[in-house]
Structure 1
Amino acid sequence: MQRNPDIWPDPESFNPERFTDPDNLPKPYTFLPFSLGRRNCIGNKFAQIAMRVILAGLLRDLKFSPVENYEFRRTLRITMRPKPPMLLKISKVG
């Protein structure tokens, strides 16, 4: 589906601008790297669990705090993001 020329014009070329025109976006579910339904990627659930385990380990063993004199501001897009990028000081717990 990701390389179907009926859905994606010139599917083999790298063209991120194809996602910028809201009137010309492809139909939903035409780009599914992990897919959906019965035939989804068998590694999808494993990848999500692995990410959670790694994140839990990092949060258990390390302390994350903003650097001194960092002024937090945010920009709203699809998700909220800090601007300028957040600088963190990472130290070992205990």
Structure 2
Amino acid sequence: MYKHVDEALLSNIIDELPKRERHIYQAFIEIEDILIQEAETYEQLLNLVSTYSPHKRIAKKLGVTLEDLLEQLSDIEEKITSKLETRKTFLYWKSEL
């Protein structure tokens, strides 16, 4: 049950991100999902990431350096995590009433 709630909260948070942040985050998630489906082991996943360099491709497409892109992604993930924890705390606190 809680997994479903977490997924709904996460989806809502992603939808609320500014357009550019949402596109960056969703691009990474889509690529990760594809590579995870193709890989049978963790080592194969690392090999696929190394071979296809999805981070570099996205950085080039956006016209930023890889370092800038990774920093932006880290900031986006921190923002998402913070909002998710806040909403979960509020939701679970409210359910205790």
TM-score, length-normalised on structure 1?
0.28
Q: Answer 1 or 2: higher relative contact order, Cα 8 Å, separation at least 6.
A: 2
- Structure whose residues are more often helix by fraction: 2
Q: If you compute each CA radius of gyration, which structure gives the higher value, 1 or 2?
A: 1
- Structure whose residues are more often strand by fraction: 1
